[in-house]
Chain A
Amino acid sequence: MNIIVCIKQVPDTQDIRINPETNTLMREGVQSIVNPFDMYAIEEALRIKEKLGGKVTIISMGPEQATEALREAVSMGADEIVLMTDRAFAGADTWVTSYTLAKGIEKLGKYDLIICGKQAIDGDTAQVGPGIAAQLDIPQVTYVKKTEEIKEGSARFERMTEEGYEIIETPLPCLITVVKEINIPRLPSLKGKIRAKQAPVVKLTAKDINAEADKLGLKGSPTVVDKIFAPQKRTGGQILQGETQEVVNKLVDAVKDIIIASGKT
């Protein structure tokens, strides 16, 4: 089993601040972490490898600093790490990111399974995983919460839906995105951490992946950010007090007022 896991380094959202002038994220002094959903992807890859043998390769597109995130994956047990870094990649939207990662994956050679987290916690788009599958023209199963079976040439997954779940059988190679229900990611081990420190990083630049230059980075991105704004903070609601009957009456009146105000009577 050759498994590729795509990860992203993101700012730790437990410590988030927005610049009130520009409405952009303040990144100075904010800790970087592996996107939490990608941790489930790494764990699932390691579990499949432990069961079936093979190799887990972690790939990330980002600045030099993203190497830290890749090394963390090695401390958990990943075999190889690949960093796609180039000025030409900067400013990519989800379309271009999918294209670039797909090109990088093609460059790595034969693979059986690609695993991504369902989305990154900074952009929250959930588009890059499916985008890579589309670029590579392989099947995709999103929101996977359980790996049911993996055999020679095919696999079966449980996919979470809003109402329940679907069981999907797919030929390999394929791409899956995983949700947090799928596993509990392991902690790194000491031997893993020592190995991670020395692990060689394979670096891929725009030149290495035979990409069309005008399809990369900000230039290739069809997405235009028109405006960024911070949503208004929620003000605490109104709390009704008194006898039950009285409170219910007040509540009904309040709802009526809202409906009338909205003009949808």
Chain B
Amino acid sequence: MDYLLTEEQVMIRDLARKIAVEKIAPVAAEYDEKEEFPWPIIKILAEADLCGVYIEEKYGGMGGGAMELCLVTEELSRACGGIAISFAATALGTYPIILFGNDAQKQKYLPDIASGKRLAAFGLTEAGAGSDAGAIATTARKEGDHYILNGTKQWITNGGEAEVYTVVAMTDRAKGARGASTFIVEKGTPGFDFGKKEKKLGIRASATRELVFNECKVPKENLLGREGMGFIVAMHTFDKSRPGVAAQAVGIAQGALDHAVKYSRERKQFGKPISGFQGIQFMLADMATELEAARALTYAVARMVDSGAKDVAKESAMAKLFASDTAMKVTTDAVQVLGGYGYMRDYPVEKYMRDAKITQIYEGTNQIQRSIIAMELIKERLR
């Protein structure tokens, strides 16, 4: 389908695709097996100027937005969802600075992120605070020119590998959700450490670790926005980043469909390729149709975000929900098309199915997305 991309967007997509095909696809299985962080690939993305596609030109980026971020994430995910998320999670960690940072903070952090010299990560989730972000236990107490952070963040993508972290902590617990604030914390700050690297079902090339803060002293200039804005920062960040997860899901689904179509033409049973059987044809047709619908919704929402629309919570949630549910279905069916071969690790489709699962879980479970959509629907009726 023709999405009427601009000339520059076509360039971005084609370059990301070239890297995915030539540099990522050949090593995806190996990174999945070894659970290693894909630094050589990150370096390639940096040299290709792809790390800053969504960052303003003033700060060293290419001046694009959510749409450009989606195009790159989708193309990389088509080859490996795990490697793609190492790129996309940096965007998640960078959005709080883009949206709420002052010029000094942007000058200090964005150019290195745009050039790919440093990766970023977003620290919100804790052992006792996932969907219920109000239950955050990490604290930040003000002492002179500093904030002192204490607590542990859990399952942080790019944890340990990133150098710039945007972290949500409670500055005033008595105020509940209104007592949270967001800080930029650099790797190497005394009192900031990392927990063990998690072993995961999918996206195994990506690094997932705990962030441990023990009397960690952060300069007060590193506060994003004002005290008490922590949740606003987090929610606005997710509104902008969720199309990115949707794009990851679309890419994973596309990769799985590519393999399923290819295999169906090669695999012969009863004397002909299985692509000649309606049972397979109907599956492939449904996979492709739902995938295209997911892509169309994702791009539409990304463009809405880039148009500067004020409230995109509902649409962002819809894109993430629909694309990730579609990815789960398409990748499961891809395994089915390959039958026994699909279940084996020697063939790439089982990995797509494992990688797809996380897109239904992170940046808000799909149940939370449905809650957001329903809440917005009800709010709209009240207006």
Binding site for B on A (CB under 8 A): 186-194, 197
Contact = CB atoms under 8 A, between A and B. Distances in A.
Contacts of B44: 187
B11 A186 contact: no
B62 interface: yes
Nearest to B44: A187
B47 A187 contact: yes
A190 B114 CA distance: 12
Contacts of B62: 190-191
B15 interface: yes
Interface in B147-200: none
A91 B116 CA distance: 47
A190 B50 contact: yes
B48 interface: yes
A197 B47 CA distance: 19
A187 B22 contact: yes
A162 to B, nearest CB: 30
A187 B48 CA distance: 7
Interface of B: 7-8, 11-12, 15, 18-19, 22-23, 44, 47-50, 53, 62
A134 B99 CA distance: 62
A188 B8 contact: no
A193 B11 contact: yes
Nearest to A196: B11
Contact of A193 (B15, B19, B23, B53): B15
Contacts of A190: 11-12, 15, 48-50, 53, 62
B11 A194 contact: yes
Given A187-B48, A190-B48, A193-B15, 15 more contacts: A187-B15, A187-B22, A187-B23, A188-B15, A188-B48, A190-B11, A190-B12, A190-B49, A190-B50, A190-B62, A191-B62, A193-B11, A194-B8, A194-B11, A197-B7
Contacts of A191: 49, 62
Consensus secondary structure, chain A interface: helix
A31 to B, nearest CB: 14
B196 to A, nearest CB: 35
Contacts of B23: 187
A187 B44 CA distance: 8
B6 to A, nearest CB: 12
B226 to A, nearest CB: 36
A189 B22 CA distance: 15
Contacts of A187: 15, 18-19, 22-23, 44, 47-48
Contacts of A194: 8, 11
Nearest to A193: B11
A193 B23 CA distance: 19
A187 B12 CA distance: 13
A193 B7 CA distance: 11
Contacts of A188: 15, 48
B47 A186 contact: yes
A81 to B, nearest CB: 18
A190 B12 CA distance: 7
Nearest to A191: B49
A187 B47 CA distance: 8
10 closest pairs, A vs B, by CB?
A190-B49, A189-B49, A191-B49, A189-B48, A193-B11, A187-B48, A190-B15, A190-B62, A190-B48, A189-B47
A189 B12 CA distance: 9
Contacts of A193: 11, 15
A85 to B, nearest CB: 25
Contacts of B49: 189-192
A191 B18 CA distance: 16
30 contacts: A186-B47, A187-B15, A187-B18, A187-B19, A187-B22, A187-B23, A187-B44, A187-B47, A187-B48, A188-B15, A188-B48, A189-B15, A189-B47, A189-B48, A189-B49, A190-B11, A190-B12, A190-B15, A190-B48, A190-B50, A190-B53, A190-B62, A191-B49, A191-B62, A192-B49, A193-B11, A193-B15, A194-B8, A194-B11, A197-B7
A228 B50 CA distance: 47
Contacts of B18: 187
Nearest to B62: A190
A191 B48 CA distance: 8
Nearest to B8: A194
A223 B18 CA distance: 40
A192 B48 CA distance: 9
Nearest to A190: B49
A136 B22 CA distance: 39
A98 B47 CA distance: 35
B60 to A, nearest CB: 11
Nearest to B11: A193
A227 B139 CA distance: 84
